[in-house]
Structure 1
Amino acid sequence: MNFELKTLSLAAAASHKCDLLVLLVPEGLAPQADALSQLVASAIKDGDLETKPGKQLSLYAPHGIAARRVVLLGCGKGGAHAVRQAVQALGATLKSAAIKRAALVFCMEPEVGAVGAAVRAMADASYVYTATKPKAEPRALSRVTVGVADAAAARAEFATAAALVTGIEYARDWANRPANHATPTLIGDAAKALARHAGIQCKLHGPAQVAKWGMGAFLAVAQGSDQPLRFIELRYDGAPRTQAPVVLVGKGITFDTGGISLKPAAEMDEMKFDMGGAASVLGVFRALAELRPAVNVVGLIPACENMPDGRAVKPGDVVTSMSGQTIEILNTDAEGRLVLCDALTYAARFKPQALIDIATLTGACVVALGALRSGLFASDDELAARLQAAGDAALDPCWRMPLDDDYADGLKSNFADVANVAGRAGGAITAAKFLQRFVGDLPWAHLDIAGTAWKGGAAKGATGRPVGLLLHYLLDVAATSGSRRKAAAPRRARAV
């Protein structure tokens, strides 16, 4: 979907030709003399429109208005959260086949974050998955004009949001695909496709190379599947090579049966979403290709299936990780931490300024935080604070959880250096403590997105989280490391 930002007053919006004109109406709006302002004022005065976020009044072909349909949309006090809530209420309208061009116009000076929230909410509300639905109607909405009083003032925020939408939708599309359409090989192909964008490189490694590196934990998870594993290495160079990169590690279990520790059949189909961390890394790189910020980023994705084949790893087996630590696998359904631990060890070779892993890791995190906030575990207070601030700015929030050393006691094993699970209590924390063993002294954070990466029920589907959080963090790194690289100027035809 294409977004454009325009300076658009309410008087000018009345003559803007489109299929749908949406006016964001805040509390206490002072009426002006133009037709749209008078229309809004009358609707509020007569009690036909409330300004609470999401309350709306739909009109068809009102006199003197160029748009065929007009929606007066309450947005409360006009903050980012209220604007997002309001626009999301337009879901059914935005998916109408008759709506191809829309304009979303602020009736007030937008607060910081409100323009970005509007762009992301428009994309989210109109998103349609079609990759494996050949007879499905694709998204009809193709162009959205965002109208504000001063486009220049909102330009940077708008550009970030538009790029973020591109990345989020890339992540959603791949996370939503059924496992037979998103095998480790196909995820590798998706990563390789990103290398067509300037500044991005991709390397794909197969089982032989992974075995050569000694990634015994990763290999153990993959050995029960007929699908060959892929270790995906992405690199974005937006800053001088002397600047240490941020390394993102995304869990890429393309389907998780639980292995020999088989999951219950109910809702097992949702285990295609167990590569949500990998999808978020792909989405971040897609957004980086649009924005070209001055930061270096490495993305690592250990991708494989977890299947209960006769060759599959068994409870009680002991494997040797790339770090040399041995692991007793007490539960084969705790496989994400096994593929991640080897990727985290590999990440150290890049000497990163920060190491962040993203994983749909534990049901315990869903119990603790629900679907609103991702779980954040960090060994570094500054990194934790920056990630939390980035999540708040992106409306993609997280919550810091404890990492006390005593939580690791349950991971002790009589037969290996460490067990891959502890007891039920504090399961999200003990999983994070397991991962912490493999990062050394690096500034490290772990995002458990088991509750936020997808929705179940009637709204079943990937959310694209935490692409927003990660991108805002990387932009913060770029801003503090130096000014953002200017986007390459478009080529112009030469006079001859």
Structure 2
Amino acid sequence: MDFSIKACDWSKGSANGFLNGKADVVVLGVFEAQTLTGAAREMDLVTKGLLTRTVKAGDMSGKAGSTLMLTEVTGIGASRILLVGLGKQDAFNQKAYTEATRAAWRALLATKIANVAFTLAQLPVPERTGDWGVRCAILALREVTYKFTQMKSKPENGDRALKKVVFSIDAADDKAAKLAVKHATALANGMDLTRDLGNLPPNVCTPTYLGQTAKKLGKDFKLKVEVLGQKQIEALGMGSFLSVAKGSVEPPAFIVIHHQGAGAKAAPVVLVGKGITFDTGGISIKPGEGMDEMKYDMLGAGSVFGTMRAIAEMGLKLNVIGVIPTCENMPAGNAVKPGDIVTSMSGTTIEVLNTDAEGRLILCDALTYVERFKPAAVIDIATLTGACVVALGHHNTGLFSKDDALAGELLDASKEAIDPTWRMPLDDEYQELLKSNFADVANIGGRPGGAITAACFLSRFAQNYPWAHLDIAGTAWKSGAAKGATGRPVPLLTQFLVDRAGQ
């Protein structure tokens, strides 16, 4: 897909030849019960009132999400115009813009149109500029065109017709919009990698496969990659991590990916991703219904892969390290049992009361490991608890941190990226629920506040640096007819890192 930018001032005639280009269609927005504005008004002039007549005839009401394709248009380079309803102008906001772009792409993808002139990015969205509109439109297009067909014997549908999009943009936004194209394309590529890894079946996407993926990523983008095997993990003393891997015939891996975008002495941001490539629950086995979706229990790791790919393609001037402990959680004669006590890399002993609370057992050793990097900040990402889904549903990712500055950065990034996140409590009183009579700490604290006590458990291993935890159990994938990985929270993480780099 080729994206380009053309500066246009619709108050000065035909906008630098934009309407005379070789596009197959021009995409225009029409507000509900409003006079035509901007590009639509100019288009109406050069087509001798075509849009006015269409609106007056009632063929396009401007209702949000509606579309109308006008064909055999004369007076401009394109033979067609796609009108997109924007709803009421005084209610037009970020959400309305996003819905309008999705409606436009769906209408275009239902045709054989290859080249598009897209004017919606110049629409007046409160607190947003045209470069944001370009970025949002590209991400929306990549979202609606994503399909996972790797495992089908006969891939559905052929190549899409749509090949080229030219965005009209205000001259003042020209430079920023060109950067937005680069960043949005990189981000979409990263999200696609995350989706692909999540959607692969667990007999393909194993810890070994993730290690191979890391090495390929390193080769493609000149990143330093280390993949530690069983003996190396044992030598590090990661008894908690290895206790989860015991029951599987698949060997565990501990993956470290380095993006060196700044000076060697600059403290890195570290992303730690939970990589359980399949979670049966272990001896505390899960119900059979829906267990196939436990292939998605590695999407914390998947989001680290996607983010590392995105920032590498962007050439982000920041040091970032991705750390991924990965294994399967399976029942077996030698699997860890409820009541077992294991010793973490930090020396903390852990009473395993539920083997299905395994994500925190692999993450705690990774959080200890990353101390060696003297990080500026550490963020762990995990499909950690069903309790977070109960608390927040499938809209907001749960954010836990005692560091107000770091939490604020992540919340700001979530708003910019339209990747909703909600800060949850992490009060010391919740730590009381993790007391054990026989070890330093228990791996669960009971049903009350389950997402909070899981975060409290992790916080014990993240005392030596600014730390935040993202529980993505409700946002990393969808169930039902739309089943599939979402690519979240790659937009949030990437925006956070872009902001940190000042790019």
Could you tell me the TM-score, scaled by structure 2's length? 0.90
Q: Distance in 2 between matches of 1:386 and 1:5?
A: 30
Q: Does 1:5 pair with 2:5?
A: yes
Corresponding residue for 1:46?
57
Match of 1:22 in 2: 27
Q: In structure 2, how many angstroms separate the alpha carbons of the residues matched to 1:460 and 1:275?
A: 16
Q: Please state whether the residue corresponding to 2:360 is helix, strand or coil.
A: helix
Structure 1 residue 288 displacement after superposition: 1.1
Partner of 1:164: 187
CA offsets per residue over residues 382-417 of structure 1, 9 Å max, x none? 000000000000001201000001111111111111
Shift of residue 114, structure 1, vs aligned partner = 1.9
CA–CA distance in structure 1, aligned partners of residues 308 and 153 of structure 2: 27
Q: Paired residue for 1:236? A: 259
Equivalent AA in structure 2 for residue 71 of structure 1? L
CA deviations 1:303-328 (Å, max 9, x no partner) are 11111122211111111111111111
**Aligned amino acid, residue 130 of structure 1:** T
What is the rounded CA distance, in whole Å, between the counterparts of 1:404 and 1:107 in structure 2? 43
Are the counterparts in 2 of residues 326 and 416 from structure 1 also a CA contact under 8 Å?
Answer: yes
> Which region of structure 1 is more displaced relative to structure 2, 398-407 or 170-179?
170-179
- Residue 476 (structure 1) shift: 1.0
Distance 2:58 2:84 in 1: 14
**Match of residue 151 from structure 2:** 132
Written as runs of structure 1 = structure 2, the 5 A alignment for 1:117-128 is 117-128=136-147
Q: CA 1:368–1:401 in structure 2 vs 1: closer, same or farther (change >3 Å)?
A: same
1:279 and 1:308 map into 2 onto residues whose CA distance is 24
* Structure-2 separation of matches of 1:69 and 1:309: 63
- Which residue in 1 is equivalent to 2:312? 289
Deviations 1:252-281 (A, max 9, x none): 111111111111111111111111111111
CA contact (8 A) 1:255 1:273 kept: yes
Report if the CA contact (8 A) 1:109-1:149 is conserved: no
Which deviates the most, 113-122 or 9-18? 9-18
Question: For the Cα contact (< 8 Å) 2:138–2:181, is it kept in 1?
Answer: yes
Q: How does 1:273-422 map to 2 (within 5 A)?
A: 273-422=296-445
Maintained 8 Å contact 1:19/1:68: yes
- Aligned letter for 2:97? V
Pairing of 1:419-434 with structure 2 (within 5 A): 419-434=442-457
Against the structure 1 CA distance between its residues 423 and 50, is the aligned structure 2 distance closer, same or farther, given a 3 Å change threshold?
A: farther
- Change in 2 beyond 3 A, CA 1:242/1:309: same
The number of residue pairs the alignment matches comes to: 480
Give structure 1 stretches of 5+ with no counterpart. Answer: 485-496
Aligned: 1:147 with 2:168 = yes
- Residue 321 of structure 2: SS of its match in structure 1? strand
For 1:106 and 1:265, the matched residues in 2 are separated by 47
User: What is the aligned-residue RMSD (CA, Å)?
Assistant: 2.2
Moved more, 27-36 or 329-338: 27-36
Q: Find the counterpart in structure 2 of residue 490 from structure 1.
A: none
Deviations 1:206-232 (A, max 9, x none): 111111101111111111111111111
Distance 1:276 1:24 in 2: 37
Contact 2:26 2:117 in 1 (8 A): yes
**Are 1:472 and 2:483 matched, yes or no?**
no
2:68 aligned residue: 57
1:400-451 CA-partner distances (Å, limit 9, x unpaired): 0000011111111111111111111111101000100101131100000111
Q: Distance in 2 between matches of 1:83 and 1:37?
A: 28
* Partner Cα separation in structure 2 for residue 75 and residue 373 of structure 1: 26
SS at match of 1:181: coil
Structure 1 71/211 Cα, relative in aligned 2: closer, same or farther at 3 Å? same
Measured in 2, the distance between the counterparts of 1:426 and 1:2 equals 48
Question: For residue 262 of structure 1, what is the aligned residue in structure 2?
Answer: 285
Residues 21 and 253 from structure 1, CA distance in 2 versus in 1: closer, same or farther, beyond 3 angstroms? farther
8 Å CA contact 2:325–2:362 kept in 1: the answer is yes
In 2: Cα distance, 1:25 partner to 1:159 partner: 28
Once the two structures are superposed, residues 342-381 of structure 1 have per-residue CA deviations (whole angstroms, 9 ceiling, x without a partner) of 1111011101010000111111111111111100001200
Mind listing any 5+ residue stretches in structure 2 that lack a counterpart?
A: none
Cα deviation code 1:90-113 (max 9, x no counterpart): 564455473444443227455422
Distance 1:129 1:97 in 2: 21
Contact 2:400 2:470 in 1 (8 A): yes
Who is 2:102 aligned against? Answer: 88
Residue 63 and residue 347 in structure 1: after superposition, are their counterparts in 2 closer, same or farther (change >3 A)?
same
Distance 2:211 2:491 in 1: 22
Residue 132 of structure 1 and its aligned partner are, at CA, apart by: 1.3
* 3-state SS in 1 of match to 2:327: strand
Q: Distance in 2 between matches of 1:148 and 1:47?
A: 29
Identity of aligned residues (%): 51
Aligned equivalents of 1:24, 1:230: Cα separation in 2: 51
Contact 1:94 1:125 in 2 (8 A): no
Distance 1:131 1:412, change over 3 A: same
Shift of 1:289: 1.7
Are the counterparts in 2 of residues 130 and 138 from structure 1 also a CA contact under 8 Å? no
Shift of the 21–314 alpha-carbon distance from structure 1 to 2, 3 Å rule, reads farther
Question: Judging changes above 3 Å, is the alpha-carbon distance between structure 1 residues 145 and 171 closer, same or farther for their aligned structure 2 residues?
Answer: farther
Structure 1 residues 229-262: Cα deviation after superposition (integer angstroms, max 9, x where no partner):
1111001011111110000001111111111111
- Cα deviation, residue 65, structure 1: 5.3
265-274 or 88-97, which deviates more:
88-97
SS of residue in 1 equivalent to 2:203: helix
Quote the Cα distance in structure 2 between the aligned partners of 1:331 and 1:107: 51
Report the counterpart of residue 82 of structure 2 in structure 1.
71
State the Cα distance separating 1:19 from its structure 2 match: 5.0
Using the TM superposition, give the Cα deviation of residue 8 of structure 1 relative to its aligned residue in structure 2, in angstroms: 5.4
Identify if the C-alpha distance between structure 1 residues 462 and 21 changes in structure 2 by more than 3 Å, giving closer, same or farther.
farther
* Residue identity in the other structure for 1:249: V
Cα gap change, 1:216 to 1:40, in 2 (>3 Å): farther
Contact 1:251–1:278 (Cα < 8 Å) also in 2: yes
| Matches of 2:47 and 2:186, distance apart in 1 | 31
Letter in 2 for 1:53: A
Contact 1:126 1:139 (8 Å CA) reproduced: no
* CA distance 1:323–1:68, shift in 2 (3 Å): farther
